[in-house]
Amino acid sequence: MITSTNKAHTLGDWASLAIQKHFEKFLKHEANVLKDKHPEDLHQMRVGMRRLRSAITGFAPAIDLPKSAQEKKIGNIARTLGKLRDLDVLHEALEKKYQPTLPGKEKKSLDKVLNQLDKQRTQAFAQVKTTLESDAYQSLKQSLTKWLNKPSYKRIAQMPIQEVLPDLLLPQISELLLHPGWLVGAEVKDGEIHILEGLSPATVEQHLADDGNLLHSLRKEAKRTRYQMEVLDDFYGETYNTYLEEVKRIQSILGQIQDSFILSEFMTDSLRSDMKNHLPNLANQLTGANYQSWQEWQSIHQRYLNPETRTNFRAMILQPNIEA
């Protein structure tokens, strides 16, 4: 088993290193997640599993994993962790960010919502505990441990890593650049794409209501792209890191919008009516936060709809630092 990047030369070597790194990361937090003492452990375990899933997907041409350790198995477990993590994020935002800013009447309404949220979290944690104690999860860990001790590769894994870097990265870059979410808040006229500028907060809210799922999907694609780029950043230079930082920014901005969307949806379901009827101040704050995020989004949105940016992104991937 390869334990250092200095000894990693082939596609298979780097696949093994990536899988080992993220496998160890989520295992490190497993015990504390079961103790349920700190939300950060859950977050880190979930991130580790997501990155492991991305590594397995990205290096799929080179690795031969057992069925119990396939990407779909990891995805199912990660989604269970994700449900609990979403509730933690929601609770923290409501309790620490928004509740202190609300008038007394709205605070009482929010207290009822928080109580309901606590009940849902108890159920979600029970599901996480059941999942982490399940035969499927134990089998996943055992299979990955066995594979890392004696990796099984496909023939292409023998290729020098430098020779296949663009082939690994470009499919994911294409998935990102071809995502339909880029056209949310834009229009196509005479074959040219134009950003819709000067939209009112109400119009932005309508776009988010109509196409929020597309933006959420684009965020997930940006996350997968980020993870894959981070695995291979040793082989590129400053320009690569600039694009990587922009992909992180795309993920972050769209994440802010998604968090507000989830919060609004949860409040409406909990209150069984429009949030504005019970928590008008909170509703206005969320509208303002979405509008601010939309303004941040527009600059990078414009940049990635520019053909020159997209061409340069692809061209940069084709030119790894062979001496790295």
Contact between 290 and 215 under an 8 Å Cβ cutoff? The reply is no
Contact between 52 and 148 under an 8 Å Cβ cutoff? The reply is no
d(CA 13, CA 7): 8
Lowest-confidence region among 182-191, 213-222, 307-316: 182-191
What tokens does 201 get?
């907060």
pTM, 2 dp:
0.89
Residue 5's pLDDT is what?
58
Residue 59's pLDDT is what?
93
Report how far apart the first and last C-alpha atoms of the chain are (Å, whole number).
21
Q: pLDDT band at 192, cuts 50/70/90? A: confident
Query: 164 pLDDT exceeds 60?
Result: yes
Residue 244 CB contacts under 8 Å (≥ 6 apart), including other chains: 226, 229, 230, 233
Place of tokens 């509740």: 99
What tokens does 107 get?
């605070």
Mean pLDDT for 198-204 is 91
Query: 4 pLDDT exceeds 60?
Result: no
Cα–Cα separations (whole angstroms), residue 247 to 46, 48, 117, 217:
20, 19, 32, 14
Residue 274's pLDDT is what?
79
- Eight-state DSSP code of residue 10: B
- Eight-state DSSP code of residue 95: I
Residue 80 CB contacts under 8 Å (≥ 6 apart), including other chains: 127, 128, 131
Query: 215 pLDDT exceeds 60?
Result: yes
Q: pLDDT band at 90, cuts 50/70/90? A: very high
Mean pLDDT for 99-119 is 90
Question: According to DSSP H, which parts of the chain are helical?
Answer: 11-35, 39-58, 71-92, 104-132, 135-149, 161-177, 201-231, 238-271, 275-278, 280-304, 307-317
**Nearest Cα to Cα of residue 19 among 57, 45, 76, 46:** 57
Residue 3's pLDDT is what?
55
Q: Residue 199: CA atoms inside 13 Å, Cβ hemisphere, count?
A: 22
Chain segment 297-306, per-residue pLDDT in tens: 998 999 999 9
Residue 122's pLDDT is what?
96
Query: 8 pLDDT exceeds 90?
Result: no
d(CA 125, CA 233): 36
Residue 269's pLDDT is what?
84
What tokens does 216 get?
């959420």
Chain segment 59-82, per-residue pLDDT in tens: 999 999 998 888 888 999 999 999
Percentage of the residues of the chain whose pLDDT score is greater than 70: 97
Burial grade of 248 (CB within 10 A; 0-12, 13-18, 19 or more): middle
Query: 105 pLDDT exceeds 90?
Result: no
Which position has the higher pLDDT, 23 or 3? 23
Query: 1 pLDDT exceeds 60?
Result: no
Residue 194's pLDDT is what?
87
Helix (H) or strand (E) holding 193: strand 192-195
Residue 253's pLDDT is what?
96
- Eight-state DSSP code of residue 150: S
Chain segment 269-284, per-residue pLDDT in tens: 888 777 888 889 998 9
- Give bridge partners of residue 188 from the DSSP assignment: 193
- Eight-state DSSP code of residue 93: I
